[in-house]
Amino acid sequence: MRKNPKEVKAKILLHRRISSDYFRLQLSCPEIARLARPGQFLMVRVNELQDPFLRRPFSFSRIFPPREKKRKPMDEGGVEICYQTVGRGTLLMSRVQEGQRLDLLGPLGNGFWPEEGCSRVILVGGGIGVPPLLAWAQELKKKGPGKKKFISAPELTFLIGGQNKEKILGAGECRRWGIEAQVATEDGSLGAKGLVTDLLEKELMTGRHEATAIYACGPKSMLARIAQVAEQFDLPCQVSLESHMACGVGACLGCTVKFREGVPPVENQERQSALPRANSLLSTEREEKTRREGTIPVISEAVPFRYARVCKEGPVFDARKIFWD
């Protein structure tokens, strides 16, 4: 049973600029840290004046559960978020000071889950999509999430992408945690020149990919390509969707995504491949029925779908269940 989110006034313990427009924010909130899971998120009220009125959603980049021995402030329990200044709300947030308090609501949504039988994990992050994968990497690195799922911690490979070296996050954490990290930038200013999806394709084509699971977060176009690659190699893939949210609790229906329902992707592919032959037969039958009854039958091969709320059913989804077009 999912526990209700907590609304708390969290003290800012650390607030640092980490690049031109990226910031790291650590917050003391044991009530949230005790329940939080990698992949979940919280909603932040940026200003006590309610301007801007709506909260802003942020995924956890680190989770610090409360410890019995409390030697430093974060041992009380807290979380870390990373954010990019892209609008008025995040610009105002970049001005808050250590020692101030922010109104938080969380944890919200559903996080990552372990893929059973996988001994290797590839994490693929683009830009501000890297931080939520860092929280998951840290948990996997420590012990593996659950004895029944992993006998030991899986082998980790982290693929990080960005427009340029100023947009690269997480490479330092990977080095400190002993995680293999590969970097790609679109302008070639750091690592390989190209897209992070190029690194993924190369990794799967040149190395082993048996018993491998993929976890990804970033722009929708990047996730769509990753989902396609994962399907080509028949690998499980989970994606954390970046979506605009007004409430974070499923009330506004502003963060919906088109979600497959009823027909598995493989079955759907088989049906689609059979359409040309079926359509030729239906064409003859349709003409005969039209002459006989004066009506035209409607033939539909659409895949059943519904609109899922990212804030309630996600933000992490099985990539095969998402319509990417």
pLDDT, tens digit (0-9, with 9 covering 90-100), for 98-113: 999 999 999 999 999 9
> Would you state the pLDDT for residue 284?
53
Half-sphere exposure of 79 (CA within 13 A, CB side): 33
Domains and CATH numbers, the chain: 6-108 (2.40.30.10), 120-251+309-321 (3.40.50.80), 263-303 (no CATH)
Measuring CA to CA, which residue among 102, 120, 252 is closest to residue 180? 120
Place of tokens 């976890």: 215
**165, 209, 219, 234 from 204: Cα distances, Å:** 24, 6, 21, 11
pLDDT, tens digit (0-9, with 9 covering 90-100), for 117-137: 899 999 999 999 999 999 999
Q: What is the pTM of this model?
A: 0.84
> Would you state the pLDDT for residue 277?
44
For 58: left if phi > 0, alpha if psi spans -120 to 50, otherwise beta; the answer is beta
pLDDT, tens digit (0-9, with 9 covering 90-100), for 61-82: 999 999 988 888 899 999 999 9
Average pLDDT over residues 302-324: 90
- pLDDT band, residue 1 (cuts 50/70/90): very low
- pLDDT band, residue 152 (cuts 50/70/90): low
**8, 52, 67, 186, 262 from 126: Cα distances, Å:** 30, 27, 32, 11, 31
Mean pLDDT for all residues in the chain: 85
> Would you state the pLDDT for residue 153?
80
- pLDDT band, residue 288 (cuts 50/70/90): low
> Would you state the pLDDT for residue 238?
98
Q: Give burial (CB, 10 Å; 0-12/13-18/19+) of 227.
A: buried
Q: Is the peptide bond before 315 cis (omega within 30 degrees of 0)?
A: yes
Q: Please enumerate in sequence order all residues whose Cβ is within 8 A of that of 41, keeping only pairs 6 or more positions apart, or say none.
A: 57, 58, 59, 60, 106, 107, 108, 109, 132, 248, 315
> Which 3-state string (H, E, C) describes 148-174?
CCCCCCCEEEEEEEECCHHHCCCHHHH
Q: Which of 36-45, 205-214, 256-265 has the lowest mean pLDDT?
A: 256-265
> Would you state the pLDDT for residue 267?
41
> Would you state the pLDDT for residue 266?
43
Higher pLDDT, residue 316 or 208: 316
For 18: left if phi > 0, alpha if psi spans -120 to 50, otherwise beta; the answer is alpha
Measuring CA to CA, which residue among 197, 221, 63, 246 is closest to residue 142? 63
